[in-house]
Structure 1
Amino acid sequence: MDDDVRGYLAKLVDRARTVLGDDLVGAYAAGSVGLGAYQPGRSDVDVALVVARPVGGPAKRALVDRLRHEALPCPARGLELVAYRRDVAASGTPEPGFELELNTGATMPFRATYEPADRPAADGRFWYALDRSILRQSGLALLGPPAADVFADPTPDDLRGLLVAALTWWLALPTPTGDGPAPGAEDAVLGACRSLVRFRDGVWLAKVDAGRRVAARGEDADLIGRAIAARRGGPPPNGAEARAFQRRVLDEIAATH
């Protein structure tokens, strides 16, 4: 984590505490920051807030007003922030269960979602439980107790179902056909590697690290190598081969679901 992100996170926590007071019991860096894989210019800043009780509408709106990019500029591509009640974070539920979701940044479409029911089903409802599982393993505490004491994993059956839902969602996205490079195909491949490693080995890794682990076993090493190189500016794989890889991963995980 670079100094700009570290300073930004400190300001974000201070502003959240100003709005929520003693109801804010924890704040955690998730995603690439938590996994030690933050890449300037490419990564988002992912943050989870944990609150003691439900957040009222005025407090939700105040959080959005004070944390959106126009009020607190994000040094990364954008901020993805989710607030959870403490009992939800500890429950292991596969449901979204959030109090507030905020996406904001210079190059990120703005989104403020105040209730889980308002989250469009087409955008996926699996993200949150998977993110909480990653937080349990690798969340970086900015405020409050260690993440492992706050967040719970879903059950093995629920986790498998969430991974299947995530891969199915990715496969449903429009993907360029043909032999040419497909922008975004690298993330599709490496995201599937991360799901596969979690399913097989029970550990969450950053996307590139997961890709290296799968490739080291001799599986699709050339494809994965090109996906990793694309994150450093090389051409991404083509859409057809990325989708074929995702289907193979989905078939393996879904076979025991």
Structure 2
Amino acid sequence: MDHDVRGYLAELVDRARAILGEDLVGAYAAGSVGLGAYQPGRSDVDVALVAARPLGGAAKRALVDRLRHEALPCPARGLELVVYRRDVAASGTPEPGFEVELNTGATMPFRATYDPADRPEADGRFWYALDRSILRQSGLALLGPPAAEVFADPAPDDLLRLLVAALSWWLALPTPDGDGPAPGAEDAVLGACRSLVRFRDGVWLAKVDAGRRIAACGEGAELIGRAIAARRGGPPLGGVEARDFQRRVLDEIAGVH
């Protein structure tokens, strides 16, 4: 883990504990940090806090005020923080189920959401249960018990629906006309690879690792190779080719033949 990120996470946990006290039962690094794939200059810092009971409005606002980038500068592109009650984290629910959500950073649009009902449908409501599944497997405990003891997977049918929803959401994003360069398409392709690996093999991998696993099967190897290169500063993929690959993955996971 990057030294600056390590220090940042320690300070974040200290501030959260000062606000929540004994109600803070766990803090976990998720996403690329948890999966051992953090990429300075590109990756976000993803953190899940787990609270013993529902948070009041004052505690929610205090977390946002004390942890937002202006109060605690994030050394990465940004912080994506979600707070869950312990019973929700352990439930395996496919619903968002969060207490408060904070997105903040020097190059990240600010968002503070205090109730899942306020999360716009168009922004996707599938992220949270998928993230909790990744946390169960690979969450890095910064405070509290191991992540596998705190977070639960969704039921298999729910997980399948969530993967389909995520792929459908990516496909619904606007893309340039024609097959011109589509910045960000590499993440869509590699994210589709990660979903496909989870569907086939039952394991979550970092995006690049998932891409390599799918490419090793001979499926879209050339496109995946260019997607990995694009994450390192190479030219972006074409929009049409990326969407064609995503559709093939969606068809397999959704059972379309």
Bin the TM-score by the shorter chain.
over 0.9
1:133 has 2:133 as partner: yes
1:33 has 2:33 as partner: yes
Contact 1:25–1:51 (8 Å) recurs in 2: yes
Deviation of 1:236 after TM superposition, in Å, equals: 1.7
Counterpart of 1:221 in structure 2 is 221
Deviation of 1:176 after TM superposition, in Å, equals: 1.4
Deviation of 1:179 after TM superposition, in Å, equals: 3.2
Deviation of 1:237 after TM superposition, in Å, equals: 1.2
Change (3 A) 1:122 1:179: closer
Counterpart of 1:144 in structure 2 is 144
Residue identity opposite 1:145 in structure 2: P
Question: RMSD across aligned C-alpha pairs, in angstroms?
Answer: 0.7
Deviation of 1:215 after TM superposition, in Å, equals: 0.2
CA deviations 1:180-231 (Å, max 9, x no partner) are 3210110010000000000000000000000000000000000000000001
User: What is the CA–CA distance in structure 2 between the aligned matches of 1:65 and 1:254, rounded to whole Å?
Assistant: 41
User: What is the CA–CA distance in structure 1 between the aligned matches of 2:218 and 2:163, rounded to whole Å?
Assistant: 23
CA deviations 1:56-87 (Å, max 9, x no partner) are 00000000000000000000000000000000
Counterpart of 2:254 in structure 1 is 254
After the TM superposition, which residues 19-98 of structure 1 pair with which residues of structure 2 at under 5 Å, given as runs?
19-98=19-98
Contact 1:189–1:227 (8 Å) recurs in 2: yes
User: What is the CA–CA distance in structure 1 between the aligned matches of 2:15 and 2:33, rounded to whole Å?
Assistant: 20
Deviation of 1:178 after TM superposition, in Å, equals: 2.4
Residue identity opposite 2:201 in structure 1: D
Contact 1:177–1:238 (8 Å) recurs in 2: no
User: What is the CA–CA distance in structure 2 between the aligned matches of 1:193 and 1:52, rounded to whole Å?
Assistant: 35
User: What is the CA–CA distance in structure 1 between the aligned matches of 2:21 and 2:177, rounded to whole Å?
Assistant: 51
SS in 1 for 2:153: coil
After the TM superposition, which residues 130-209 of structure 1 pair with which residues of structure 2 at under 5 Å, given as runs?
130-209=130-209
User: What is the CA–CA distance in structure 2 between the aligned matches of 1:176 and 1:214, rounded to whole Å?
Assistant: 26
Q: 174-183 or 67-76: which moved more? A: 174-183
User: What is the CA–CA distance in structure 1 between the aligned matches of 2:179 and 2:53, rounded to whole Å?
Assistant: 52
1:107 has 2:107 as partner: yes
Identity, % of aligned positions = 89
User: What is the CA–CA distance in structure 2 between the aligned matches of 1:27 and 1:208, rounded to whole Å?
Assistant: 26
SS in 2 for 1:111: strand
User: What is the CA–CA distance in structure 1 between the aligned matches of 2:149 and 2:234, rounded to whole Å?
Assistant: 40
SS in 1 for 2:77: coil
Unpaired segments ≥5 residues, structure 2: none
Deviation of 1:31 after TM superposition, in Å, equals: 0.1
Deviation of 1:177 after TM superposition, in Å, equals: 2.9
User: What is the CA–CA distance in structure 2 between the aligned matches of 1:52 and 1:196, rounded to whole Å?
Assistant: 34
Q: TM-score, normalised by structure 1?
A: 0.99
User: What is the CA–CA distance in structure 1 between the aligned matches of 2:176 and 2:210, rounded to whole Å?
Assistant: 25
Residue identity opposite 1:205 in structure 2: L
Residue identity opposite 1:223 in structure 2: L
After the TM superposition, which residues 236-251 of structure 1 pair with which residues of structure 2 at under 5 Å, given as runs?
236-251=236-251
User: What is the CA–CA distance in structure 2 between the aligned matches of 1:56 and 1:193, rounded to whole Å?
Assistant: 39
User: What is the CA–CA distance in structure 1 between the aligned matches of 2:124 and 2:71, rounded to whole Å?
Assistant: 28
User: What is the CA–CA distance in structure 2 between the aligned matches of 1:191 and 1:168, rounded to whole Å?
Assistant: 12
